[in-house]
């Protein structure tokens, strides 16, 4: 599964352009509805802070971070999973902050939101990061077997996130594929980039990519059921439905 650097760059640029175009269009088209516009504004903030700012910093400092992480005396799989969890927590810190900035966007906290709760610990321990852990563990195992490049890890994990968002919150999220690929893909891109080479893995084939896309998602299902079993009365969303 080799792809030259030019095609990688072109695909990412096109993905970014689609994200900019659709976000700008939706931002201006929703100005008449202050609740919807507030939600879109929160999503735009997520894109600016997590995708643009954090993504740029990850790319610019990727080699320095790789050199530093490789010096840490710990099995690479453990470092990989912990690094993924850390970045997922950073991403959720951004989303939770956007939810709490509702008054800045002209509404009350809870009147518009992009997280299940305004409480950060509640978000990561009951709704998001806790559910992602099996994905990260599965990818650590996959990368032990197959030498997927950081580009493919970014893309496949981003598609996992897109599938999860679409199945959980509705098929309308499929049109937001660029945003979700970047949002989820950036949780794992840098950890994948910092892996040691060689590590005994073999080059993947096309069907291994399908395997890498399906397995993490399937593994997360029983874990999500277990999390729900631990807290059966914990609501999926702590806010009331959007009200004008």
pLDDT tens by residue, 11-60: 999 999 999 999 999 999 999 999 999 999 999 999 999 999 999 999 99
Buried-exposed string 144-181: b where 16+ CB fall within 10 A, e elsewhere: eebbbbbbbbbbbbbbbbbbbbbeeeeeebeebbbbbb
Domain positions in the chain:
5-230
pLDDT at 5: 79
Q: Are 92 and 131 in contact (CB under 8 A)?
A: no
Question: What would the DSSP string read from start to end of 42-97?
Answer: HHHHHIIIIIIIIHHHHHHTHHHHHHHHHTS-S-HHHHHHHHHHHHHHHHHHHHHH
pLDDT at 233: 65
Confidence of residue 242 (pLDDT cuts 50, 70, 90): low
Report phi then psi at 148, rounded to 5.
-65, 140
Among 52-56, 130-134, 167-171, 178-182, which stretch is predicted with the lowest mean pLDDT? 167-171
Confidence of residue 223 (pLDDT cuts 50, 70, 90): confident
**pTM for this entry:** 0.93
Handedness of CA 104, 109, 111, 112 (dihedral sign): positive
Question: Does pLDDT of 131 surpass 70?
Answer: yes
Residue 117 CA to residue 126 CA, distance in Å, equals 10
């Amino acid at each position: 599964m080799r792809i030259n650097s030019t095609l990688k760059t072109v695909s990412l640029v096109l993905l970014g352009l689609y994200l900019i175009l659709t976000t700008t269009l939706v931002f201006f088209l929703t100005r008449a509805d202050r609740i919807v516009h507030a939600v879109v504004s929160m999503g735009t903030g997520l894109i600016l802070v997590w995708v643009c700012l954090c993504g740029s910093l990850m790319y610019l400092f990727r080699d320095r971070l790789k050199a530093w992480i490789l010096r840490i005396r710990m099995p690479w799989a453990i470092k990989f999973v912990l690094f993924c969890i850390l970045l997922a927590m950073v991403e959720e810190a951004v989303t939770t902050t956007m939810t709490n900035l509702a008054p800045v966007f002209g509404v009350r906290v809870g009147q518009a939101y992009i997280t299940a709760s305004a409480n950060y610990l509640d978000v990561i321990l009951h709704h998001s990061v806790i559910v992602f852990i099996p994905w990260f563990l599965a990818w650590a195992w996959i990368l032990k077997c197959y030498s997927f490049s950081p580009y493919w890890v970014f893309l496949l994990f981003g598609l996992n996130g897109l599938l999860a968002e679409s199945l959980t919150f509705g098929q309308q999220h499929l049109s937001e594929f660029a945003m979700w690929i970047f949002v989820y893909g950036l949780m794992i891109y840098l950890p994948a980039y910092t892996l040691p080479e060689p590590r005994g893995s073999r080059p993947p084939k096309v069907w291994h990519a399908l395997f890498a896309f399906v397995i993490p998602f399937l593994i997360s299902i029983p874990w999500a059921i277990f999390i729900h079993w631990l807290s059966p009365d914990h609501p999926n969303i702590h806010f009331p439905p959007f009200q004008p």
